[in-house]
Amino acid sequence: MDQFTSAYLTSLATTLSKSLLPALTSRMQKALRGTAQDQALARALAAGIIALLAVASEAEPDEIDHLDGIFRRFFAEPDVTREIAQILRGHGLDMDEMRELFAEAGYDEETLPKLDFETGMNAFQAA
């Protein structure tokens, strides 16, 4: 993994893990607080983001900046955080909700035809 990719993943995973904790129950928050637990959560989220980005790996160079903005807006959205918290509770993602939130973040299938969002989110969830 190159330095840019590593820094990018770390940034997205850290942002997401910090916003994810408040979306959890207080019992789950306590269980995940602490350096080792925080790091484990960030690693799990990074693995999910890697799985999602792997689906987008065929993007053309001019699409990369566009995807960067979409992913950053998407993962910063509180509704996305609440939905991802469902995974930690043992529930699946609401794909219709996630698809709508991804579109609100700027995704357009015609502009980014090589990105299969549902496959990417299923990979994220599995990771």
Its pTM stands at 0.69
pLDDT at residue 95 tops 90 = yes
- How confident is the model over 50-77, as a mean pLDDT? 78
Dihedral (CA of 96, 41, 127, 7) sign: positive
Reported as a single tens digit per residue, the pLDDT across 1-27 is 455 465 676 777 777 777 776 766 666
Per-position DSSP letters for 46-79, written without gaps between them: HHHHHHHHHHTTT--HHHHHHHHHHHHHHHH-HH
Average predicted confidence (pLDDT) for the chain: 77
Question: Which residue, 90, 110, 107, is CA-closest to 98?
Answer: 107
Q: What confidence score (pLDDT) does residue 98 get? A: 92
pLDDT classification of 104: cutoffs 50, 70, 90: very high
Helix, strand, coil abundance in the chain, percent, nearest 5: 75, 0, 25
pLDDT at 4: 46
